[in-house]
Structure 1
Amino acid sequence: MGFEQEAFERLVHVTWDNRSKMQREMLRGAKGEPFVVQQLYIKGPMTPSQIAQAMGATTGRVSTLLAGLEKKGQIVREPDPDDRRSVHIRLTETGEERAHRQRESMRDAICWIFSQMGERRTREFIDLTTEFTTYMTLCMPGKPRPTPEQVAEAFSGNTQEEA
């Protein structure tokens, strides 16, 4: 077995088979209200279909989530001034406070982890994660592998990230 296969097996075990409590919580949050709140906090007002696309969820699922957030006073639906048939969802002050609390809680936890790893290893981790993520953006299962030109372009910083 080459190092690539061994690394793959170890990565799958570490990231999928043996998830930490934080990873499980983050994954749960990626399927619900915390994700919607963070999307709106980061990107600003969005349509329900934009939220559904970002989540990889159905518009029906998003509609249910939005109803719950609206009931809690964390979002409002506003008509699009250019297209009255469309609505934009935006956070209320209460929703922004929730988003801020979520981000601070995550920041505190991850900063603690980085403090345990030390500065040198943390910087290496971030650099390697950035490189790995760039390759993952280029290389999709079942698709042709990227050309050397595509790889060079991705690492030159001349490509735009997909939203």
Structure 2
Amino acid sequence: MGFEQESCDRLMKAMWGKRSQMQQAMSRDSKGEPFIIRELAVKGTQTPTQLAAALKATSGRVSTLLAALEKKGQIRREIDPKDRRIVHVSLTEAGHERAERQREDMREAVCWIFSQMGERRTREFVDLTEEFATYMTLCIPGRPRPTAEEVKQAFAQSETGDAQ
């Protein structure tokens, strides 16, 4: 077994074999109300169809989530005056506050982890994670591996901050 396979196995074991409480909470949050709140905070007003596509959930599931969030006063649903078949979903002030709280809770948790790792190791980790993420934008399972030129272009774009 080469270093690549060994490293891949170690990474998978570390990420999935040792599921931390933070990972479990993030996984739970990616399926429900926190996801909807985060999606609206980042992208702004959406339709239920757009939210269902982003969440990879059924319209029924999204409808249930929206009803719960509306009851809590965190979202509002408004019918489009030009096309009454379209509903726009947006955050209320309470929803924006929840989004900020979610973001700050995550930031505090990650900053604590970084404080434990120390500055040098944290900077190395972030640099390597950025590099890994760039490769991940190119390498899709079941498809041909990217060419040297595609890799070079992706890293040039990541250095300038351009979206692909």
Query: Equivalences for 1:1-163 in 2 at 5 Å?
Result: 1-157=1-157, 160-161=163-164
TM-score when normalising by structure 2:
0.91
Runs of 4+ residues deviating >6 angstroms: none
CA RMSD of aligned residues (A): 1.5
Q: Which shows bigger deviation, 78-87 or 111-120?
A: 78-87
Which secondary structure does the structure 2 equivalent of 1:85 belong to? Answer: coil
Distance 1:131 1:100 in 2: 28
Distance apart, 1:73 and its partner CA: 0.9
Q: TM-score, normalised by structure 1?
A: 0.92
How big is the shift at 1:82? Answer: 5.0
Question: Any idea what the Cα deviations from partners look like across 1:79-133, whole Å, max 9, x if unmatched?
Answer: 3355432122100011111111111111111111111111111111111111111
Aligned residue identity for 1:160: A
Q: Structure 1: which 5+ residue stretches go unaligned? A: none
Shift of residue 30, structure 1, vs aligned partner:
0.3
**Structure 2: which 5+ runs fail to align?**
none
Residue identity opposite 1:91 in structure 2: L
Question: Matches of 1:111 and 1:151 in 2, distance apart?
Answer: 31
